[in-house]
């Protein structure tokens, strides 16, 4: 299920999932930062910095759904620190 969520950018988290940003896929639209104010801020180049892995689920689901690059997604907690995943929260 985690692989399917990763590929599809599932909007709703499964139990034990955390929010993560795929920095390679991100194109810097900034929609996530506008929806998740206080959880995500934009750096000087307009790319997101994630400050909280477990934000309000309803707002996070909306941000995941609206991400044009599908760079914001739910991942299993064990996948977050994996160098291969490219999904490292700040």
Closest by alpha carbon to 73, among 23, 15, 6?
Answer: 6
DSSP 77: G
Q: What is the pLDDT of residues 42-85, one digit of tens each?
A: 999 999 999 876 688 899 999 999 999 999 988 887 655 554 44
pLDDT reported for residue 5: 45
Domain contains 32: yes
* Banded pLDDT at 1 (limits 50, 70, 90): very low
The CATH number of the domain where 75 resides is what? 3.30.70.20
Contact 41, 32 (CB under 8 A): no
Euclidean distance between CA atoms 42 and 4, whole angstroms: 28
pTM of the complete model: 0.69
Domain contains 16: yes
Tell me the pLDDT of the chain averaged across its residues: 79
- Mean pLDDT, residues 9-14: 56
């Amino acid at each position: 299920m985690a692989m399917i969520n990763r590929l599809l950018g599932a909007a709703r988290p499964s139990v034990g999932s955390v929010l993560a940003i795929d920095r390679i896929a991100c194109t810097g639209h900034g929609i996530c930062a506008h929806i998740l104010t206080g959880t995500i801020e934009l750096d000087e180049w307009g790319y997101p910095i994630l400050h909280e892995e477990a934000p309000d689920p309803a707002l996070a689901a909306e941000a995941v759904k609206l991400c044009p690059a599908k760079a914001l997604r739910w991942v299993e907690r064990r996948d977050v620190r994996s160098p291969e995943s490219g999904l490292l929260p700040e």
